[in-house]
Structure 1
């Protein structure tokens, strides 16, 4: 039985761009290609690579697990005798620290939401040298989606006469019709008002809400220890406040028709869900409920997240290594279509301004005869609770006829690659993160010194889709991350996003020609 060689072939004369191209081919294989156990890759997915990668700190994602509510995190302080103890703050100081942390969570959420709120340019998905380009001409992903909901029509799925009669019967239990004098004309007009059942429901519900708010207010005041009185109030009166809430709830059930009202409303909702105009209204409501306003920018953004929330601190990352042996294998592959969207700078190092200005290539005179690159890699799905892709791919909607609100009549024309005038040819669905990058050259020390001279000028250095070191912007702050080296190679600690997995939309809108009535 033949044994595999452990000696890497000499590659001193390998072209840098070929080496990087082959390494990206291996990354693409690791992430996408399936077999009998792993589901094969979808032809509707592609990868777009950042050039260079975008650094993140682990704490940049605290908002995912903590939420948007600030918490007080006690700090250790040094005492005069050299020992350490937990800092002691007044109630006001503690409240101020929590407020600062709340602000930080909102800033993290806004920064992340804007980072992933992009429409990738899929016009180059057949290119072998690719990078992440963004379509800026039509706005952000949320812009296009919001305008689509606003200017779209859905199929008029009119309910049957029997269903309409049932809904009307239920609605008559919730509202009554009466005559009212028009104060301007003096004429009697018919108006709809809440039925006695609904009025009682709302009255009893409001009493329960007030009792609940009183209870929660006292509980939160005690938990945050805003005053000594608050702590005493909760300790003494908690049982009384709890009893008030229970009494109000039981009164709501027994005398406010709570179960009857909600049962009727549920039946109406179940039957009305078959009406697509109501379904679209729910999607618009979900979008509106996800809208937040940035504290510093004052601009709206739509909350997005990643799953799982603790991915940055998880130990379950995959170790990736690329050596000269891998280069020999991948150089023989006939197809290397591993990404999308424009030209990716391969092989040489790049240097650019920290504000994302123009970048230039430079040759660090690398010796690739014993090249090796390794890192941990992780794919993390992007969660957008406000985005309903099933609506965009449905055959039951179209743009309103005669609408001039869009430059194109398609979100995507369905072609591969999509035409340049498609407003949303694709969307990012997954972020590709790596951490603890190590690069080894035969002359690693010499290469490291060359990088030091470039980073020392305040620039940002990258190598393909990898961030090597230098200054960069994060939100409104300036940060820096430096590489370090030893006899084993060049190291870049920490987390960075090297690209996105993107999904190509089919033709959209693509309405069913059998639909004749639209609303």
Structure 2
């Protein structure tokens, strides 16, 4: 008899190994924190269409199918409506959908993670009906604070170095900034209204895209390496025959990042800015404050509330075929509790037992133990990792030595640091979500699990969420005017969950901040 916790621990360990790398020659940044979500949040590919061509754009070849669906639905509601009126309403619905999903994603990633969440602190809620942002459809917040608010407060409540900077250095700073960001005039597809937005430069977009490709190649390599060491004989044979290919792919992705993604140029520009602005940061911080204020004024949500904009790179990932496949039909033969899964909630923030969520993920949770009688258990799904980008957010501020917090910030947050930079960090903003991990089209191969899930279909239809750790087995939430269901499919020997779900964030830990230089004499 196998325990579902042990089997799912193996899946989590494989994903964890892929996310953190598996080869010293293919490094990943060490300053990362993985935040699992319990259970995964069901999403539809159309909810990332705003990132394909921008939230104010019309349909693209990639998103035209969804627009045609809107036209068909609207035409079906009133067959007598003219084609012109149908298209007009479809355009409005499409625009509202883009704005609503952009706002929803921006609010979803605007959280500060906990370094070691306990059970009950990795969940999410939907259809929030309380508070200032009661229109927000999905909420995932671990520390209860927003990255955007703490970042804005740190900018507004800090003193900056005021030493003289030469005209020559000012010119260099301007050039470096132009390399990393640009001002873009955008036009609303429907109203024709024009506005100026600060966005990543094309070079910076390429940098992020090729960084993501490299990291996904490392994930694939690390996950296959982990399976070869702890998996079945077939996994080991596959690795012995093709492990070199996956390693070569990861190395090639690194080289593409360097050449096509301008890795060295971007990082050199960032280093130059850090160095030059270490002596005078008055104008730099003023520009950062202006970026935040402009973002707040320029981005109004569908209900009229401002939000701090965020997107994803690559923008079309949800409709892409280039995802990594995880497949293991012999989990029951190879499952074992590793040092990761044994730490349980101290490491993951949730139990790996079967958990039912009711009330839209908010309350009424109950956990049920589940045993597999016939010891047969397998799993298959696709997964990918994407970059979370915030145009008005500059992480370089945190590593600069040209600022320090005022007493007003310390009094408000009861700490004089954003982060102390320790292994178990403390502070007002210890980290921020920088990547997101998605899985899609899951299939569990287990007759016992299939039988169990058949007993839960009525609960799911009534609004319950059923999941194992970060994997959602059944349930859906409503986003804007569209119902997004998980479309649970159960046979005698399998459970299939088509569609997309968000299962984890990878957050970047801050260094010790502030860390003002002792050489600075003048503060403003």
TM-score scaled by length of structure 2: 0.66
- Root-mean-square deviation (CA, aligned residues, Å) is 3.7
Shift of 1:329: 6.2
Within 1, Cα distance between the matches of 2:393 and 2:380?
36
Q: Which residue of 1 aligns with 2:102?
A: 109
Q: Please, which of 27, 32, 36 is the counterpart of residue 20 of structure 2?
A: 32
Task: Work out whether residues 26 and 330 of structure 1, in 8 Å CA contact, stay in contact via their aligned partners in 2.
Answer: no
SS at match of 1:481: coil
Alignment correspondent of 1:64: 51
Cα distance in 1 for residues equivalent to 2:157 and 2:430: 18
Q: Tell me which residue corresponds to 1:54.
A: 41
1:436-471 Cα deviation digits (max 9, x unpaired): 001122424412312324324431111110111124
Confirm or deny: 8 A CA contact 1:110 1:301 kept in the other structure: yes
- CA separation of 1:70/1:329 partners in 2, compared to 1, >3 Å: closer, same or farther? closer
The alpha-carbon distance between structure 1 residues 30 and 105, as it changes in their structure 2 partners (threshold 3 A), is same
- Tell me, in whole angstroms, the C-alpha distance in 2 between the residues paired with 1:49 and 1:145: 23
Task: Report the CA distance between 1:44 and its aligned residue.
Answer: 1.4
Residues 313 and 339 of structure 1, relative CA distance in 2, 3 Å threshold: farther
Aligned to 2:400: 394
Q: Which moved more, 1:301-310 or 1:94-103?
A: 94-103
2: CA distance between counterparts of 1:118 and 1:479? 23
> 2:375 maps to what in 1?
369
Alignment of 1:172-321 (within 5 A): 275-291=280-296, 292-321=298-327
1:408 is aligned to: 415
Q: 1:430 aligns with which of 422, 435, 440?
A: 435
In structure 2, the partner of 1:150 is 156
Secondary structure of 2:5 counterpart:
helix
- Alignment of 1:514 onto 2:519: yes
Contact 1:130–1:343 under 8 Å retained in 2: yes
Counterpart of 1:300 in 2: which secondary structure? coil
Aligned in 2, Cα 1:89/1:319: closer, same or farther, shift over 3 Å?
Answer: same
Secondary structure (helix, strand or coil) at the match of 1:100 reads helix
Change (3 A) 1:503 1:373: same
| Counterparts of 2:68 and 2:157, CA distance in 1 | 51
Aligned 8 A contact 1:47 1:340 in 2: no
Gaps of 5+ in 2: 60-66, 74-78, 124-139, 172-186, 193-275
Hey, what does 1:89 align to over in structure 2? 83
The 1:372–1:129 alpha-carbon spacing in structure 2 relative to 1, beyond 3 Å, is farther
SS at structure 1 position matched to 2:159: strand
Q: Report the Cα distance in structure 1 between the residues aligned to 2:377 and 2:277, rounded to whole angstroms.
A: 63
More helix by share: 2
Q: 1:458 to 1:159 in 2, by over 3 A?
A: closer
In 1, Cα distance between the equivalents of 2:277 and 2:395?
21
Contact 1:130 / 1:339 at 8 angstroms: preserved in 2?
A: no
Deviation at 1:272, TM superposition (A): 10
CA shift digits 1:235-259 (9 cap, x unpaired): xxxxxxxxxxxxxxxxxxxxxxxxx
Runs (5+) with no aligned partner, structure 1: 1-11, 79-84, 168-215, 222-270
Q: How far 1:55 sits from its partner (Å)? A: 0.5
Q: TM-score, normalised by structure 1?
A: 0.67
Equivalent residues of 1:354, 1:473 under 8 A apart: no
Q: Which has the larger radius of gyration?
A: 1
Q: CA deviation at 1:367?
A: 3.2
Distance between the aligned counterparts of 1:377 and 1:155, measured in 2?
Answer: 45
SS in 1 for 2:466: strand
Match of residue 506, structure 2, among 497, 501, 504: 501
Q: For this pair of structures, how many residues does the alignment match?
A: 394
Report the alpha carbon displacement of residue 128 of structure 1 after superposing the two structures with TM: 11
